[in-house]
Amino acid sequence: MTAAGPAAVEPFDAVDVIRTKRDKQRLSDAQIDWVIDAYTRGAVAEEQMSALNMAILLNGMDRAEISRWTAAMIASGERMDFFGLSRPTSDKHSTGGVGDKITLPLAPLVAVYGVAVPQLSGRGLGHTGGTLDKLESIPGWRAALTNAEMLAQLESVGAVICQAGSGLAPADRKLYALRDVTGTVEAIPLIASSIMSKKIAEGTGSLVLDVKVGSGAFMKTIEQATELARTMVDLGTDAGVRTVALLTDMSTPLGLTAGNALEVRESVEVLAGGGPPDVVELTVALAREMLAGAGVTGVDPAEALADGRAMDVWKRMIRAQGGDPDATLPVARETETILAAADGVVVQLDALAVGVAAWRLGAGRARRQDPVQAGAGIELHAKPGALVRAGEPVMTLHTDTPERFERARAALEGAVVIAPEGSAPRRSPLVISRLAAD
């Protein structure tokens, strides 16, 4: 029987690192590098990292600290390399909202102009939908690709939407799960480093951030959204990635659908030259930013929606990942209609209420392992500014499990506000502001 060797001597004590931030001092580069590495390999306990996360939430981090924290998270795993591609790369990240299907038409639209779009996406949790959940409603489509498959598809098609591999920023996976159960999700340094560590590790040449603000977004105020956007733009800039951010309104759902197959259907309408004006507007605005980041100017991406070129790339992208772009999409077995309570003008349609209702109908999940219903969700028949009559449909609820209708209706209590004819809804522009590097 052999004796166990001596335990490795760590260069820092986790308690000292916690005290540093607890006492409102800045963490050194060496402390940050060590604590991220030690937590990833299990040398820093969950309760210790929980305490450090809370100290960061309460006392913040400066730009250099956040940049180093992000770099340490990137260093915990692999980095992708797109230098061998014949196309420049550009990517987009949204902080999440209700009815936010923009990635689906956007990726093929940008690829029309010779720019590769490596869109690593996720699944929904809570009231915000997940891009992969939407695409998995297409028969045969698969989210899991190897790095080699991804690179080959970027070269041949120009766009790929898939799940991130387990090798990208593994420190973030542990930290994300911990923040979720310790009340530290709202810490802007931790939100920003979580998003940007994966996007920078992904290796894109330029990045456009769609930072949502409003009731259906994570950031409820313009001040919060601006702070998050500025922090992420600075992180991208410090890492050598050309990064810009658009603050966009999420007080009302995007488009006329919230739910997986429903949103795919609407995205295809946009790719066919139609679709809701707000979805088209935001898709084109983000496409312009992505193309500019990749050095492509003097083009109007709206033209590629109108003439079918973006639809051609969409079909090739879906086929490349095993999907049938012409297949019939799933439809929920049961529907129920919500009717207008009075004559008048819709002046408010609360995005959070619609998102929660769609989630309760089965379009979302409460836990990461939960399944979703492909056909569940909500169709909107009237948005702010629309004139309605009492008894007319304002939305239709879709689910396979009708026992879900009651809780969905409860979530929608007060969500639709109808005022007398002649009233005007409070409108904010869809794109509120733009932030770029200082």
Which residues are the active-site residues?
Answer: 93, 172, 179, 194, 198
Other C-beta atoms within 10 Å of 355: how many?
Answer: 30
Q: What angle do CA 225, 231, 232 make, to 5 degrees?
A: 90
Compute the residue count for the chain: 438
Asked if residues 158 and 290 have their Cβ atoms less than 8 Å apart, the reply is no
Sign, CA dihedral 120-125-126-132, equals positive
Long-range contacts of 271-274 (CB under 8 A, 24+ apart): 271/105, 271/108, 271/109, 271/305, 271/310, 271/311, 271/314, 272/308, 272/311, 273/305, 273/306, 273/307, 273/308
Indicate the DSSP class of residue 403.
G
The residue written with tokens 């009302």 in the block is: 252
Give the strand pairing for 90-94 and 206-213.
parallel
